[in-house]
Structure formats: C-alpha cells, structure tokens
Amino acid sequence: MTDILRLKMLIAYDGRPFRGWQSQATKDAVQDHMEAAFAKTIGGRVVVHGSGRTDAGVHALAQIAHADVPAARLEVSAWRGALNNFLPPEIRVLRVSRAAPDFHARFHARGKIYTYRMWNASYLHPLEIGRAWHMPSKLDLDILRQGAQMLEGKHDFAGFAANRAPGYAAEDTVRTIQHICLTRRGDLLNLRFEGNGFLYKMVRLLTGTLVRCAQGRAELTFIKELLAGKGAKKTSFAAPAEGLYLTRVLY
C-alpha cells in the first residue's frame, strides 16, 4: 500500500489571467494550473482542494489548499520548488508543509479575511490598474462606516448573494461578520472583512452596496431591508473583481 502524504499549501496569485480558482472545462482556472503542476511533477492526477473559490479576476495573497501525494515521491521541502517550476509566474506557492491526514482546507476553515481596495480620486493611478476599483465620486465615509457597522454580526445574507447556476443545492445563507474595518491612506480606501464564511460574490455585493450608500445614491435603510428580507430583496450593486483580495484563511 502506498503511503500518502497530505500537503498544505499557501498560495498567492494575481487573479487577472485566470478564470477564478475553481477548475474549468477550459482549464484556465488557478486550480487547473495547480493540478497540472502536480501532474507534471509526479506524472499522475492529484486533486487540489482550495479553502474556497475566488471569482475570475479576484486576487489571493494567501489562499490555502491541500492535496494528497504518494509520500515516497518527494521530500516535503522539495514540493514548493517543483510546483513553482511548472506554474505560471502569476501563481506562486509560497509555502508547503506536511498536514495532518485529516486536515481539510475547506471544511476546517473557521473564517476568512478579504480586503477590498478602492482608489478614490478623479483618476486611477497607473500602478493601480487591475488592482483596485476606481471610484472617482466623493464618498461619505461616515455613512460607509455606519453601513459597515450594520452588517457586522450574525445575519441572513441571502440579500447579498448572487444566484448560483441551477443545480446548486439551496445553501444556508446565515453568516457572521466579526469585523468590517475601513482605513484610508491618501487616495486608497481599504475595506477589510473578517467573517466565518462568505456567500457567492458576497464581499463584492457588500462593498458595492456600501459604496452606493456612501455616494448618496441609496439610503442606509436599504441595507437594513436587505438584511431583514433574507433574500426576498437582493442587491445588484457588485463591486468589480479587480479590487478584491483573499487575504487570510483562518483555521
């Protein structure tokens, strides 16, 4: 019987060249590139389990994934170099360690931190192209903070979830957001979301809706209604993918 080694990986990627994390028929997702790098390293199929999906264009500073490999093939310390050797430069495995045999990148995650970057000035700085949402209009940061405070805590966030393609099982849409933290440094606005989990497109819908209020184009009562409606009412204001970063997975 082959001894199996479970690897835990810390992965960073620039989201722009890829169709999100989750494997695609077109094989241009981050997971596809990861699995191809494993296949090239050991010549057999390896399934890579991420902590969760990121959409097309969304960046990751610290995605976590696990995969099982035959223990005899490579030292744990050799995997990082082997995988990076076959990965495109826009995906880098920053760390590889031995995980417990029952460690699961998705099921064991007890929370996540996402960061959303906005460039709040008339013109987008050229070094922020593809890395921040360009927001030329004036924002009322007090409103933004008040809205963020309303979203903190345990709520049914169905009003802040995009519908999945048919075929997905109905999902429990109750989540807890521990903190939403707003910081400003010059023209750069940063929204940091820490929660026990996020629904499909939820961070982008939260950000887009908060910004809508901070622009004065929606009232804060809109957020109250979305939370109370439990999905009866949905927001359609999604911030674009390029400003979003998966910043940390909590175990």
Contacting positions for a copy of itself (CB under 8 A):
12-14, 59, 61, 80-81, 84, 89-94, 122-127, 129, 131
Q: Would you say 16 or 53 has its CB closer to a copy of itself?
A: 16
> How far apart (Å, rounded) are the C-alpha atoms in residues 147 and 150?
5
Q: Would you say 80 or 155 has its CB closer to a copy of itself?
A: 80
Q: Assess whether 140 carries a catalytic annotation.
A: no
The minimum distance between CB 219 and a copy of itself, in angstroms, equals: 31
The minimum distance between CB 88 and a copy of itself, in angstroms, equals: 9
Q: Would you say 59 or 204 has its CB closer to a copy of itself?
A: 59
Q: Are strands 91-98 and 4-13 parallel, antiparallel or unpaired?
A: antiparallel
Q: Which amino acid is at 241?
A: A
The minimum distance between CB 124 and a copy of itself, in angstroms, equals: 7
Task: Count CA atoms within 13 Å of residue 78 on its CB side.
Answer: 9
Got the DSSP string for 167-178? TPPP---EEEEE
Q: Which of 3, 28, 32, 55 is catalytic?
A: 55
CB-CB contact of 161 with 205 (8 Å) = yes
Q: Has 114 been labeled as part of a binding site?
A: yes
> How far apart (Å, rounded) are the C-alpha atoms in residues 106 and 251?
10
Catalytic residues: 55
Annotated binding site for substrate, which residues? Answer: 114
